[in-house]
Amino acid sequence: MVNYIFLGILQGIFEWIPISSEGIVALASHFLIKEANPIDLALFLHLGTFSAVMIYFRKDWRKVLLLKNPSLLRFLIMATVISLAIGYPFYKLISQAATGAILLLIVGLGLFLTAYANKFRNFLGLGQI
């Protein structure tokens, strides 16, 4: 029980730092608890993060749900649709082909590419698009 509380605290700390909180929690749960599937535990811990975000931004969500901020609603819908269209095929591909080390390699490569994509965008003078 204490180990799970510790993992929850780790998740709470590392979620707001620009590193992979899922990776940190997965590693910690693998070594501390010998969890069979540490990714499932890390995803479960994200429910707490989701709840905290929903509570913190409750006024903004109320505006969106009451249609008082239609531009934000449009943005959220478009971002969700695009993320689903791009992410779901990758999810299906990875879930069928990847296990353990392969999945870790794919996630690491994705993090590496996103870090350098931002620098490349700044190099081209595109700034924050």
Query: Each residue of 96-114: pLDDT tens digit?
Result: 665 666 777 777 888 888 7
Query: Each residue of 39-64: pLDDT tens digit?
Result: 667 677 778 778 888 888 899 888 88
* pLDDT score of 15: 76
Which residue's structure tokens are 């934000």? 72
Q: Which letter, b or e, does each residue of 39-70 get, where b requires 16 or more Cβ atoms within 10 Å of its Cβ?
A: bebbeebeeeeeeeeeeeeeeebeebeeeebe
Crossing angle for the helix pair 38-56 and 58-65, to the nearest 10 degrees: 80
Q: Dump the DSSP string for 70-111.
A: HHHHHHHHHHHHHHHHHHHHHHHHHHHH--THHHHHHHHHHH
Predicted structure pTM score: 0.48
